[in-house]
């Protein structure tokens, strides 16, 4: 038990499955049009978006129809922002294989495609974690009883720690700080 009224630190983990993450991405990007070449009236439409782990990074697959048919892949490293209240992938970039495949259509075409997709994708990949963080803090803050021991915990501060990507999904780790008082019989 922590000493009475002394600082208390707790490491909390919040899971986000790739199924949940993919569902959120798909909901934000489904059927959005991408304008590829205004002179030629070329457009593509996002039909499906999914995310998965790629050796500790996030791999996003975007299935397109229209004037650009096929799947375009992006990858990046997840990061916590805003005191752990949001998740983003700021270093998101198109995979080399996708660049090569798109450039086989026309040299330099991948840059045009990337310019149209990357901003939408980065925005869609910002995941608001505040509800999960708040729910966690509310669950921990308060009076907890176990046997003859009573512990009063007050969470006063949170700090982002890290995000880890595994084949099962993303795990957000946050450090919660506060005070704790314990009373009981030994």
- Write the pLDDT tens digit of every residue in 100-118: 999 999 899 999 999 999 9
- Write the pLDDT tens digit of every residue in 56-74: 999 999 999 999 999 999 9
pTM above 0.95, yes or no: no
SS3 letters across 82-127? HHHCEEECCCCEECHHHHHHHHCCCCCHHHHHHHHHHHHHHHHCCE
């Amino acid at each position: 038990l922590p000493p009475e009224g002394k600082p208390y630190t707790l490491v909390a983990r919040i899971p986000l499955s790739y199924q949940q993450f993919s569902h959120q991405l798909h909901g934000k990007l489904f059927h959005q049009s991408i304008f590829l070449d205004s002179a030629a009236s070329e457009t593509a439409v996002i039909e499906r978006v999914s995310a998965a782990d790629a050796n500790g990074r996030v791999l996003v697959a975007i299935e397109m129809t229209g004037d650009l048919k096929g799947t375009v892949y992006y990858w990046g490293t997840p990061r916590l922002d805003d005191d752990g209240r949001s998740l983003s992938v700021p270093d998101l970039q198109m995979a080399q294989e996708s660049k090569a495949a798109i450039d086989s259509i026309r040299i330099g075409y991948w840059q045009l495609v990337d310019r149209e997709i990357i901003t939408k994708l980065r925005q869609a990949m910002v995941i608001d974690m505040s509800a999960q963080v708040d729910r966690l803090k509310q669950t921990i803050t308060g009076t907890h009883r176990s046997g003859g021991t009573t512990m009063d915990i007050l969470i006063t501060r949170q700090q982002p720690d890290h995000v880890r990507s595994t084949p099962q999904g993303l795990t957000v780790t946050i450090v919660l700080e506060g005070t704790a008082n314990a009373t009981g019989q030994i």
